[in-house]
Amino acid sequence: MKAYAGKVLKIDLSTQKTSLYPWTDSDRERFLGGKVMAAKIIYDLLDDKIKPLSEENIVVISTGPMTGTGAPASSRFNVSSISPLTGLITSSNCGGDFGLMLKKTGYDALIISGKASDKVWLELTEDSISFHDAKSLWGMHVDQVQEALPKRYGKLVIGPAGENQVKYAGLFSGERTAGRGGIGAVFGYKNLKAIATFGKIKTQVYDSTIKSFYKNWISKLRMHPLTGKQLPTFGTAGLLTIMHHNNILATRNFNAGRYNDFDKVSGESLKENHVIKKKGCITCPIQCGRQVKVHDKIVKGPELETIGLFGPNILNNNLEAICRWNLELDEYGMDSISTAGVIAFAMELNEKGLWDNGLEFGKIDNLSEIIRMIAYREGIGNDLAEGVKFLSDKYGGHDFAIHSKGMELSAYEPRGAVGQGLGYAVSNRGGCHLNAGYIVLFEGLSMNMNPYKTTNKAEFTIFSQDMMEACSAAGQCVFTLQMMLPKDILEKPNSGLTSVANKLLTTPITAFIIKRLNYMKSLPIHLPMIPHSKGIKLATGMKMDLGRFKTIGERGFNLERMINLKRGLKASDDGLPKRLTHEAQAGVSDAKVPLESLKKQFYACRGWDQEGIPKEKTLRKLGLYDDQCLFLWKSEKLDADITDEVTSKLS
């Protein structure tokens, strides 16, 4: 099939043996690539009992069919594994040049298994794979190791945090990060410092008219108010001001949704006082990244999540310090969201007398040192390196331990956007805004769907989750999906049309339409504001339409759910801390996340039972029903069958 390199390489670090992993055109049509492909491989290969930090765990690094075809924002690649932070599947999407170069080397994906007996780095070219001694690289910061590896290569590396198995250490490609879930620690455990690839193979596409199609797509992205104006002008940080006004800016360890000094750390302030220029991923017309000056060096600037969580959430209004910590986190190789979440929680533990650790809200002079101590697991850094859930198990404070399934939440305070709260709770990788469906965009960030009401939130969350899964599987940035929000409405927030559109979002007719869309296996149309399905068709030649595209996302979401269920996930794990579900948001009447009722709607709309287990007919629809998935229903059903049989025999 066109647009694929055609090979998946399995690399066993223990034996230093490699082999090709079977992956057929039928697999490509069903799982596309990226994180959905990775979920299928993990589902097939991994025993449900394996530990995240073990030889048995695997890391799947996968590109999508759009990678390398010139599609907008298509340099993204995915990394999936069993997370040391959550014990569940995690996936992390990354920009940088690694994915593009991997495909040029002739591989769609790599599967890394085993554990090297000593520190190694891997070199992959079109016709060879070499295992190099990495002793001289061990200990190096992310930027140093990238500098030390061959210049023209695409690189994926870890820093000291990964080596020291900090549970939220990330992987880095250029200035971009696969940050969430701690896959950097899995690399560190496996003694793998880096992978570097180089090749010159060109990706072939099916339909030669694709160039003009992409040209048109790019110009639409440039004309859209979000992807053509807001993101390029202010970066993701441009959302901070509106988050404050809408009570969704996480403040003081999620005590509140507003921060009085928000303007000192806003996207506008970043642009005015710190940004030198914008810079983003290769092949991206949006360019949401920023470059700032730290210690006279021009480096990557902080994103919204880093600013929100290292700003308002720890009561810090010093943007310069955030830029500095952002650089330090990148050099040590750690996820900024989890690091900031851990620090905020430790501050509140200290304040409440549960853990005397020297951390205080608003006190920032010791934070550079704390970040270093986490990366090297020194002193209190050793506990902080384990994450919020671990800290709450050790020191208490479960009610204000801001995580879901063990992963620290992003910067959106969900009591001001309850659909986003649902998303955090049911996300497969834990407290992540993207895997949540990013429905906060509808709840005040761009559209104005009533953020406190539960109406239609489950339906929109599912639609959005599935679309983002599919987009990511294609190898494109999920921000390209923002184009589906109607331009005319975003440009005229006060018009009568906008007010009608916002009201329509919560009507039964909209629920009916979205539900139908969610149930459909195929919908034989392409939409101009979601060009992804047509792009995939032109690039690969596979049968593709809007319905199939969305179904690929749904398949991926359900597959990840099945992996988690296999690993012991229960409905009660789809949770949020009590602060968000039972305490009113400071300063805003009685806003709380009504999680149980939202979950009920979500499970029903997803075709799951009340325990959050996909029903047989859901799996049959997705083509996921086979002998392997019988584990889902085993205990209750088999026990009930046996009990019935025994009862009837006795009587």
Q: Which is nearer to ligand SF4, 267 or 280 (CB)?
A: 280
- Which of 52, 68, 174, 280 binds ligand SF4 (CB under 6 A)? It is 280
Q: Which is nearer to ligand SF4, 63 or 456 (CB)?
A: 63
CB of 309 closer than 8 Å to CB of 337: yes
- Name the one range near ligand SF4 by CB under 6 A: 193-201, 283-291, 483-491, 510-518: 283-291
Q: Which is nearer to ligand SF4, 281 or 299 (CB)?
A: 281
425 touching ligand SF4, by CB under 6 A: no
Residue for token digits 């039964």? Answer: 508
What are the CA-CA distances from residue 622 to residues 67, 131, 640 (Å)? 25, 40, 27
Beta carbon of residue 283, minimum distance to ligand SF4 (angstroms, whole number)? 8
302 touching ligand SF4, by CB under 6 A: no
Q: Which is nearer to ligand SF4, 218 or 281 (CB)?
A: 281
- Size (the chain), residues: 651
The CA distance from 410 to 403, in Å, is 9
Beta carbon of residue 95, minimum distance to ligand SF4 (angstroms, whole number)? 4
Q: Which residues contact 78 (CB under 8 A, 6 or more apart)?
A: 34, 35, 38, 60, 61, 62, 63, 64, 91, 92, 93, 94, 178, 472, 473
Q: Which is nearer to ligand SF4, 372 or 487 (CB)?
A: 487
Q: Which is nearer to ligand SF4, 479 or 608 (CB)?
A: 479
Beta carbon of residue 169, minimum distance to ligand SF4 (angstroms, whole number)? 20
Three-state secondary structure readout of 606-625? HCECCCCCECHHHHHHCCCC
- Name the one range near ligand SF4 by CB under 6 A: 29-37, 281-289, 585-593, 595-603: 281-289
441 touching ligand SF4, by CB under 6 A: no
Q: Which is nearer to ligand SF4, 74 or 247 (CB)?
A: 74
314 touching ligand SF4, by CB under 6 A: no
Q: Which is nearer to ligand SF4, 95 or 225 (CB)?
A: 95
Residues 321-340 that bind ligand SF4 (CB under 6 A): none
The CA distance from 232 to 102, in Å, is 28
- Which of 479, 602, 603, 608 binds ligand SF4 (CB under 6 A)? It is 479
The alpha-helical segments, DSSP class H, found in 224-302 are: 231-234, 240-245, 267-273
Q: Which is nearer to ligand SF4, 479 or 603 (CB)?
A: 479
β-strand pairing of 192-198 with 120-125: parallel
**CB closest to ligand SF4, residue no:** 280
CB of 167 closer than 8 Å to CB of 84: yes
Beta carbon of residue 616, minimum distance to ligand SF4 (angstroms, whole number)? 38
The CA distance from 90 to 567, in Å, is 13
CB of 53 closer than 8 Å to CB of 574: no
Nearest Cα to Cα of residue 31 among 603, 605, 557, 608: 557
CB of 407 closer than 8 Å to CB of 432: yes
Beta carbon of residue 309, minimum distance to ligand SF4 (angstroms, whole number)? 18
Binding-site string for ligand SF4 from residue 48 to residue 87, where x marks contact by CB under 6 A and - marks none? -------------------------x--------------
Backbone angles phi, psi at 176, to 5 degrees: -105, 155
Nearest Cα to Cα of residue 77 among 95, 59, 65: 95
288 touching ligand SF4, by CB under 6 A: yes
Q: Which is nearer to ligand SF4, 235 or 575 (CB)?
A: 235
Beta carbon of residue 613, minimum distance to ligand SF4 (angstroms, whole number)? 34
289 touching ligand SF4, by CB under 6 A: yes
284 touching ligand SF4, by CB under 6 A: yes
Q: Which residues contact 262 (CB under 8 A, 6 or more apart)?
A: 240, 241, 244, 249, 312
The CA distance from 644 to 148, in Å, is 67
Q: Which is nearer to ligand SF4, 254 or 479 (CB)?
A: 479
The alpha-helical segments, DSSP class H, found in 427-491 are: 457-474, 487-491
Beta carbon of residue 166, minimum distance to ligand SF4 (angstroms, whole number)? 24
CB of 576 closer than 8 Å to CB of 497: no
286 touching ligand SF4, by CB under 6 A: yes
Phi/psi class of residue 406: alpha, beta or left (left: φ > 0; alpha: ψ in -120 to 50)? left
CB of 553 closer than 8 Å to CB of 465: yes
96 touching ligand SF4, by CB under 6 A: no
432 touching ligand SF4, by CB under 6 A: no
Positive or negative, the CA dihedral 53, 57, 59, 64 is negative
Size of the site for ligand SF4 (CB under 6 A): 11
Q: Which is nearer to ligand SF4, 285 or 381 (CB)?
A: 285
287 touching ligand SF4, by CB under 6 A: yes
- Which of 34, 68, 95, 302 binds ligand SF4 (CB under 6 A)? It is 95
The CA distance from 61 to 315, in Å, is 37
Beta carbon of residue 339, minimum distance to ligand SF4 (angstroms, whole number)? 20
Beta carbon of residue 555, minimum distance to ligand SF4 (angstroms, whole number)? 24
281 touching ligand SF4, by CB under 6 A: yes
Residue for token digits 């570097």? Answer: 196
- Which of 169, 344, 477, 576 binds ligand SF4 (CB under 6 A)? It is 477
- Name the one range near ligand SF4 by CB under 6 A: 165-173, 178-186, 287-295, 490-498: 287-295
The alpha-helical segments, DSSP class H, found in 300-417 are: 304-310, 319-332, 336-351, 367-375, 381-384, 388-395
238 touching ligand SF4, by CB under 6 A: no
Nearest Cα to Cα of residue 447 among 480, 474, 420: 420
Q: Which residues contact 384 (CB under 8 A, 6 or more apart)?
A: 342, 343, 346, 370, 373, 374, 391
Phi/psi class of residue 106: alpha, beta or left (left: φ > 0; alpha: ψ in -120 to 50)? left
3-state secondary structure of 77: strand
Q: Which is nearer to ligand SF4, 228 or 614 (CB)?
A: 228
- Name the one range near ligand SF4 by CB under 6 A: 163-171, 277-285, 360-368, 536-544: 277-285
Q: Which is nearer to ligand SF4, 78 or 448 (CB)?
A: 78
542 touching ligand SF4, by CB under 6 A: no
> Applying CB under 6 A, which residues contact ligand SF4?
73, 95, 280-281, 284, 286-289, 477, 479
